[in-house]
Amino acid sequence: MNKKRNISSIAFTTVFVLVIIVIGVISFSNLAKFYVNDEVDYNEWSADLGNKQETDMATTFFEKFRFVNLNGAVRNLLGQREMNGVVKLNNGYLLTTFGYVSDECLQECADSVAVFDRYLENRGTRLVYASTPYTSSKYDPQLPAGVSDYGNDNIDRFLEMLDTLDVDTIDYRETMHQDGIDQYDMMYKTDHHWNTEAGLYAYGKLERYIVEQTGCDVDERISDIGNYTITTYEKWHLGSRGQRVGRYFAGIDDFDLIIPNFDTSIRNDAGEVDSMQNLVINMQPLNNREYTSRYTYDWVLDGACEHYVNLDCRNDLRILIISDSSSRVVCPYLMMGFHEMCFVSTESISEMSPEYIESYDPDVVIMLYYPQYFYEGSTAYDFAEYQ
């Protein structure tokens, strides 16, 4: 009997060791490909382990995404709320928490925006700072017991500073609350982005602000969701936070594609003239479901954040939007609503100059920011050359 047990133990141990060796060899091969050809067995999330070699090994680990899925499934079964720097809220939404940002740091960012605002005002251009919602609602945080988060607090204090400096603002957390909208319905469960319906909602608020400030005429069909066809791709999008915890920790998001039922005529920088959807929307990621990248949001709307001219517009306004990826769901409506729209990334503020502003000559500048840029020396708030 003992002999049979010993044979079984040896066989199990041998198989286990062989599996580890095979995984190790393949992972080493992936690591070599990564170093030689910069090839990655792709998954959106790469662990930062402090040590470069350990981080690179984790990044190229064989079937990494399957192991992330397994880890997330086990943690979900055990009722654990945290994994790889991500917190699951009480309602199942995933959050990457923010620490407390000092008043001094926030004031420095606010003062810089005010400098930019005064520069634009002197040349007859309006500026509005629009703050996107944060995954954890200010009015219903849903934070698990023992979890601290200062995301909404940082936003509150920053917007108060801008208000004191007479900078126009739109706080989408407040507008949704006032409109009786559950903020969570406008957010992806597994992502830091708001969803496509939220993009149309956000445009509506911007449209109202711009009309009030300029008196321009806009096509009222654009802000009415009843004028669009909505196609839902169920369980299609695993966002940036979902990539860190896998498919089974909090589930998978649906993705809504919103297409206008009215004609549009837009020209891009290549001189192509077509409908908004044909120039902006990339349908390829919607042909096959793939969870190893948060490709859906970014790739489907990959063409949104560029320079476009509306050839069938009721006004002659030029809009400049300075933003991050949160603007991908807003830009399609801006290009339909106004004569010209140009995008500048928050990561490229240093490439934007007073000469660029004078050349483009915008009527309205929109700063649409997710609250991730509040830190010392943030280039997203570097407007020193506009003094």
* Mean of the per-residue pLDDT values of the chain: 87
* Tens of pLDDT, residues 23-37: 444 444 444 434 344
The two beta strands, 86-88 and 82-83, are antiparallel
Q: Are 323 and 366 in contact (CB under 8 A)?
A: yes
Q: What is the pTM of this model?
A: 0.86
Which residues contact residue 333 at a Cβ distance below 8 angstroms, ignoring those fewer than 6 apart? 199, 200, 203, 207, 222, 223
Instruction: Quote the pLDDT of residue 2.
Output: 57
Say if residue 279's pLDDT is above 70: yes
* Tens of pLDDT, residues 167-223: 999 999 999 999 999 999 999 999 999 999 999 999 999 999 999 999 999 999 999
Residue 132 CA to residue 371 CA, distance in Å, equals 8
Say if residue 52's pLDDT is above 90: no
Average pLDDT over residues 99-126: 97
Looking at the DSSP bridge assignments, the partners of residue 86 are 83
Residue 338 CA to residue 166 CA, distance in Å, equals 26
Say if residue 334's pLDDT is above 70: yes
Q: Which is higher by pLDDT, 365 or 18?
A: 365
Say if residue 351's pLDDT is above 70: yes
Instruction: Quote the pLDDT of residue 251.
Output: 94
Q: How would residue 375 be classed by pLDDT, with cut points 50, 70 and 90? A: confident
* Tens of pLDDT, residues 143-166: 999 999 999 999 999 999 999 999
* Tens of pLDDT, residues 282-328: 999 999 887 766 679 999 998 999 999 999 999 999 999 999 999 99
Say if residue 7's pLDDT is above 70: no
